[in-house]
A and B are shown apart, each in its own frame.
Chain A
Amino acid sequence: MPDDLNWAIGGEAGDGIDSTGKIFAQALSRAGRHVLTSKDFASRIRGGYTAYKIRSSTDRVESVVDRLDILVALTERTIDENLDELHEGSVIIYDGERTEMQDVEVPEGMIGLSVPLKTLAEEAGGAIMQNVVALGAACEVSNFPIENLDSALEKKFGAKGESIVENNKEAARKGQSFVQEEFDHEFDYDLDTTDNDYVLLNGDEAIGMGAIAAGCRFYSGYPITPATDVMEYLTGRIDHFGGTVIQAEDELSAINMALGAARAGARSMTATSGPGIDLMTETFGLVAQSETPLVICDVMRSGPSTGMPTKQEQGDLNMALYGGHGEIPRFVVAPTTVAECFHKTVEAFNLAEKYQTPVFLVSDLAMAVTEQTFSPEEFDMDAVEIDRGKVVDENEIEAWTDEKDRFQPHFPTADGVSPRAFPGTTGGAHMSTGLEHNSLGRRTEDTEVRVEQVDKRNRKVETAKEEEDWSPREFGDPESDNLVISWGSNEGAMQEALDYLEDDGVDVRFLSVPYIFPRPDLTDDIEAAEEVVVVECNETGQFANLLEHDALTRVKRVNKYNGIRFKADELADDIKEKLQAEEVTA
């Protein structure tokens, strides 16, 4: 387990909690320390409480923990909210001069430092800098060289001019010297610095950066927590690469704009959270049926309905897998770490275009609001490969025309993937539709063509299963009889949990699964293990249900999908055939 420090600043929404916390996180990162941040929104007590929490170590930190060592409390309630995490020796920095903080009682065994944040900030040039005074005080408490904070302040305020930066540095120093001079405590913390270079980013930013790297040029979206950061990241950045962000009037429009851009031939994406996915489900079927490559990102939050918009849940797996009426293949990819949000986004764009199939990129609030440090090499742009699939130009059109020289964008190829002609390609003009269609893209209700097209679309998945790597990520003891499986963002917490388990003498093999559909076949792993535990942030165990479903192989199937209901005599024959097959194999 890392030798870590847990730090937080909390107060009312609007107190600048986020930006102050981010400055400290940046300072730690620039000092070569690993950082993992999290956010508390309004919780147990009603009201506008919010906190920004940082866990930091010279080793990698992968998870939040239930312990708080230093707390900057801008309100008394901040202390109450964190009583469970505070411990003997925890330091609480607060401004005892504030009327509402005068009666603060620091819990027994903890160290309360009353620092006149506002007064010192005014001395440095303005009350607005009182949070920075607190950061200076925190540097002193944690024995953290204040030059690292300077560097973060320069990054934050550099654009506002030299004097603003200098005032802030001065404010920080006032906080630092006040603690130095007024208190005589021995603090247990010693924040070592290293020469390592780290970058600090959250899951939404990683998705946005991955999108640009992957050649995404069109993003349409509608703001929603916790997916808005993807849109805000891309705004003002994607245009440097010839792309654009457009804010739609609703999610119905957002996905249709993205669909239009994708039909035009651009790599295109939209991101939202559960309630937005509900709306987008209407058009999802059209995207898939028209075989349009599109990346749809769902940054999950607690549902159902408006649910708990600022809380974590992995509750949308079933929707991503099954959402929409009728049946249509889609890929479902769930990054397992903040860095993987980048890699899986790049992968999602390639999957979408190679197989002309929509991809659900399923992230969650835990990654969206977590800023984490990584070596910059983790985001190796030279390693990014772009595969646009079977795009044909005007010279290749002829190979795909029918006897009347008409281009066939849904030609039932052996691998299921048809040629794709971007609008503007001479000779490629064609229709696409959400109706069942023939190889030309024109409406049909012909039972044979229907079956041919359904099979063709499903063949794309079979091809992808063979051609792509769908392996899980493996951790822990490979020989262990105890198997733990999880999907999505639980990987970090589970990785550190392995250390705790090891300390307790429990060995575990851990598989972290980033692919929900197609997904790795874990039947053999499950059967080989003595105990199997599936970890996920939801109540019904949506992923566990899938794994159990995969392992159940007794059921034989009779399916019909040509548009005609079952007929008794035909059905009897089908069943007889299945039963005979059973006898033969028995």
Chain B
Amino acid sequence: MSSEVRFTDFKSDKQPTWCPGCGDFGTMNGMMKALAETGNSPDDTFVVAGIGCSGKIGTFMHSYALHGVHGRALPVGTGVKLANPDLEVMVAGGDGDGYSIGAGHFVHAVRRNVDMTYVVMDNRIYGLTKGQASPTSREDFETSTTPEGPKQPPVNPLALALSAGGSFIAQSFSTDAQRHAEIVRKAIEHDGFGFVNVFSPCVTFNDVDTYDYFRDSIVDLADEDHDPTDRDAAKDKILDADKEYQGVLYQNEESVPYSELHGLSSDMTEIPDGAPEGAMDLVREFY
């Protein structure tokens, strides 16, 4: 199967409506490449997205998909994956969707460690509503709703994930196509919840966290002596506010996904034409 699938098979015939130059193009391309490289096909892939610029991704990709409500894509992905473990589940969102309205779900999805991939297009701004502060915006980032900056520290999604027991925590840069696709591929291959925060610059509303900024400041862990299985080393890097890292910061190689821990293996979509065998025992129990 893998040899037949090309990444363009995951492209829908709908042209993306993102602004020209948007970081989301690169993020999506990398996801499609990674899906193809891991032997998935559009018919056995389920993409879930929420609301915001990132939410449109299901429309621009070709697969089974749900474009849901704001912030709740992870619970949807959880339900899809548990009901049919044969599906490759890819959840996509933005920093607002994942770390603001959906922050509660993010923490619990990390804890639950369901075998799916979560890609966050982090542009540190609300783009679709035309430029308000996001949970990852800098403290002094001036926007229409925060004229003097939010005056509160940005959320550190990697630290949230690590403290919630995350088993795969990575970061990539949408324009570094090869590395980004490689990191997403590793997230897909990971047995458990594969989380990738992707710097996806907004060229229209964010003039601080730009392509140039990331190009100049990113430190690729591939160039460092970093052991991703070392949680303490990961912690130091994740809490280092002065650096923007690219690569797999942490991976628990002993990770056991939710389904395995709970003994779930069956496809729940197939049921008999009547009550299941043994259903009368349920009645007798009440005797």
Residues of chain A contacted by B80 (CB below 8 angstroms): 260-261, 263-264, 423
Residues of chain B contacted by A237 (CB below 8 angstroms): 282
* Best-surrounded residue of B58, B105, B273, B287 (most CB of chain A within 10 A): B287
Q: Mark B35-77, 1 if CB is under 8 A from A, else 0.
A: 0000000111110100000000011001111111100101111
Residues of chain B contacted by A215 (CB below 8 angstroms): 271-272, 276
Does A200 contact B43, Cβ atoms closer than 8 Å? no
Cα distance, A257 to B282, chains bound together (Å): 26
Does B72 contact A265, Cβ atoms closer than 8 Å? no
Does B78 contact A260, Cβ atoms closer than 8 Å? yes
- Those of A214-264 within 8 Å (CB) of chain B: 214-215, 217-218, 220, 237, 239-244, 246, 248-250, 252-254, 256-264
Within the complex, the shortest CB–CB distance from B116 to chain A, in Å, comes to 10
Is A201's beta carbon under 8 Å from chain B? yes
Residue of B nearest to A200 (CB): B286
Does B83 contact A431, Cβ atoms closer than 8 Å? no
Residues of chain A contacted by B154 (CB below 8 angstroms): none
Residues of chain B contacted by A218 (CB below 8 angstroms): 79, 82-83, 268
* Pick from B45, B68, B81, B287: contact of A256, CB under 8 Å: B68
Within the complex, the shortest CB–CB distance from A219 to chain B, in Å, comes to 11
Is B130's beta carbon under 8 Å from chain A? no
Does A261 contact B82, Cβ atoms closer than 8 Å? yes
Residues of chain A contacted by B76 (CB below 8 angstroms): 256-257, 259-260, 263
Cα distance, A262 to B82, chains bound together (Å): 11
Q: Mark B252-266, 1 if CB is under 8 A from A, else 0.
A: 000000000011101
Does A429 contact B64, Cβ atoms closer than 8 Å? yes
Residues of chain A contacted by B273 (CB below 8 angstroms): 385-386
Is B223's beta carbon under 8 Å from chain A? no
* Pick from A205, A379, A424: contact of B84, CB under 8 Å: A424
Is A562's beta carbon under 8 Å from chain B? no
Within the complex, the shortest CB–CB distance from A294 to chain B, in Å, comes to 10
Cα distance, A242 to B276, chains bound together (Å): 10
Within the complex, the shortest CB–CB distance from A239 to chain B, in Å, comes to 7
Residue of B nearest to A256 (CB): B75
Does A266 contact B283, Cβ atoms closer than 8 Å? no
Residue of B nearest to A248 (CB): B75
Is A127's beta carbon under 8 Å from chain B? no
* Pick from A267, A426, A442: contact of B271, CB under 8 Å: A267
Cα distance, A257 to B82, chains bound together (Å): 9
Cα distance, A426 to B9, chains bound together (Å): 13
Q: Mark A355-399, 1 if CB is under 8 A from B, else 0.
A: 000000000000000000000100101101110100000000000
Is A334's beta carbon under 8 Å from chain B? no
Does B83 contact A242, Cβ atoms closer than 8 Å? no
Does B65 contact A266, Cβ atoms closer than 8 Å? no
* Pick from B58, B263, B278, B286: contact of A199, CB under 8 Å: B286
- Those of A392-444 within 8 Å (CB) of chain B: 404, 422-435, 442-443
Does B59 contact A199, Cβ atoms closer than 8 Å? no
Place the interface of chain A in its size category.
Answer: 35 or more
Residue of B nearest to A433 (CB): B67
Does B287 contact A199, Cβ atoms closer than 8 Å? yes
Does A434 contact B68, Cβ atoms closer than 8 Å? yes
Instruction: Choose, from A51-59, A186-194, A282-290, A572-580, the stretch at the interface.
Output: A282-290
Q: Mark B269-287, 1 if CB is under 8 A from A, else 0.
A: 1011111101110111011
Mostly, the A contact residues are mixed
Residues of chain B contacted by A246 (CB below 8 angstroms): 78, 82
Cα distance, A430 to B275, chains bound together (Å): 31
Does A244 contact B264, Cβ atoms closer than 8 Å? yes
Residue of B nearest to A431 (CB): B65
Residue of B nearest to A428 (CB): B43
Is B207's beta carbon under 8 Å from chain A? no
Known: A197-B287, A237-B282, A384-B274. A260 touches B69 (CB 8 A): no
Does B275 contact A213, Cβ atoms closer than 8 Å? yes
Is B216's beta carbon under 8 Å from chain A? no
Cα distance, A435 to B271, chains bound together (Å): 31
Does A384 contact B79, Cβ atoms closer than 8 Å? no
Is B22's beta carbon under 8 Å from chain A? no
Does B87 contact A434, Cβ atoms closer than 8 Å? no
Within the complex, the shortest CB–CB distance from B143 to chain A, in Å, comes to 26
Count of B residues near A, CB < 8 Å? 57
Is B86's beta carbon under 8 Å from chain A? yes
* Best-surrounded residue of B82, B83, B87, B278 (most CB of chain A within 10 A): B83
Cα distance, A357 to B51, chains bound together (Å): 23
- Those of B190-247 within 8 Å (CB) of chain A: none
Is A454's beta carbon under 8 Å from chain B? no
Residue of B nearest to A435 (CB): B67
Does B75 contact A253, Cβ atoms closer than 8 Å? yes
* Pick from A240, A244, A263, A388: contact of B66, CB under 8 Å: A263
* Pick from A209, A283, A425: contact of B283, CB under 8 Å: A209
Is B104's beta carbon under 8 Å from chain A? yes
Is A268's beta carbon under 8 Å from chain B? yes
Residue of B nearest to A246 (CB): B82
Residues of chain A contacted by B13 (CB below 8 angstroms): 404
Does A382 contact B274, Cβ atoms closer than 8 Å? yes
Cα distance, A212 to B283, chains bound together (Å): 11
Known: A425-B43, A429-B62, A431-B67. A266 touches B269 (CB 8 A): yes
Q: Mark A270-303, 1 if CB is under 8 A from B, else 0.
A: 0000000000001100100010000000000000
Does B66 contact A433, Cβ atoms closer than 8 Å? yes
Is B108's beta carbon under 8 Å from chain A? yes
Does A244 contact B82, Cβ atoms closer than 8 Å? yes
Cα distance, A431 to B10, chains bound together (Å): 13
Residues of chain A contacted by B274 (CB below 8 angstroms): 381-382, 384-386
Does B275 contact A382, Cβ atoms closer than 8 Å? yes
Within the complex, the shortest CB–CB distance from A158 to chain B, in Å, comes to 13
Is A311's beta carbon under 8 Å from chain B? no
* Pick from A29, A243, A264, A428: contact of B79, CB under 8 Å: A264
Residues of chain A contacted by B45 (CB below 8 angstroms): 429
Is A30's beta carbon under 8 Å from chain B? yes
* Pick from B43, B74, B266: contact of A426, CB under 8 Å: B43
Within the complex, the shortest CB–CB distance from A190 to chain B, in Å, comes to 24
* Best-surrounded residue of B48, B82, B269 (most CB of chain A within 10 A): B269
Does A253 contact B287, Cβ atoms closer than 8 Å? no
Residue of B nearest to A267 (CB): B271
* Pick from A252, A282, A422: contact of B269, CB under 8 Å: A422
Cα distance, A246 to B75, chains bound together (Å): 11
- Those of B1-50 within 8 Å (CB) of chain A: 12-14, 42-46, 48
Residue of A nearest to B84 (CB): A264
* Pick from A199, A260, A283, A429: contact of B43, CB under 8 Å: A429
Cα distance, A286 to B107, chains bound together (Å): 23
Cα distance, A248 to B284, chains bound together (Å): 30
Residues of chain A contacted by B14 (CB below 8 angstroms): 442
Does A384 contact B279, Cβ atoms closer than 8 Å? yes
Cα distance, A213 to B42, chains bound together (Å): 33
Residues of chain B contacted by A212 (CB below 8 angstroms): 275-276, 279, 282
Q: Give 21 pairs: A residue, B residue, CB < 8 Å, sorted on A.
A: A198-B287, A199-B283, A241-B276, A244-B82, A248-B75, A256-B79, A259-B76, A261-B82, A264-B46, A264-B80, A264-B87, A265-B268, A266-B83, A282-B69, A286-B68, A381-B280, A384-B274, A423-B80, A429-B64, A432-B66, A434-B68
- A sample of 5 more A-B contacts (CB under 8 A), given A256-B79, A423-B87, is A197-B287, A241-B279, A253-B75, A423-B43, A433-B67
Chain B residues with CB under 8 Å of chain A are 12-14, 42-46, 48, 58-59, 62-69, 72, 74-84, 86-87, 104-105, 107-108, 262-264, 266, 268-269, 271-276, 278-280, 282-284, 286-287
Chain A residues with CB under 8 Å of chain B are 29-30, 197-201, 205, 209, 212-215, 217-218, 220, 237, 239-244, 246, 248-250, 252-254, 256-268, 282-283, 286, 290, 376, 379, 381-382, 384-386, 388, 404, 422-435, 442-443
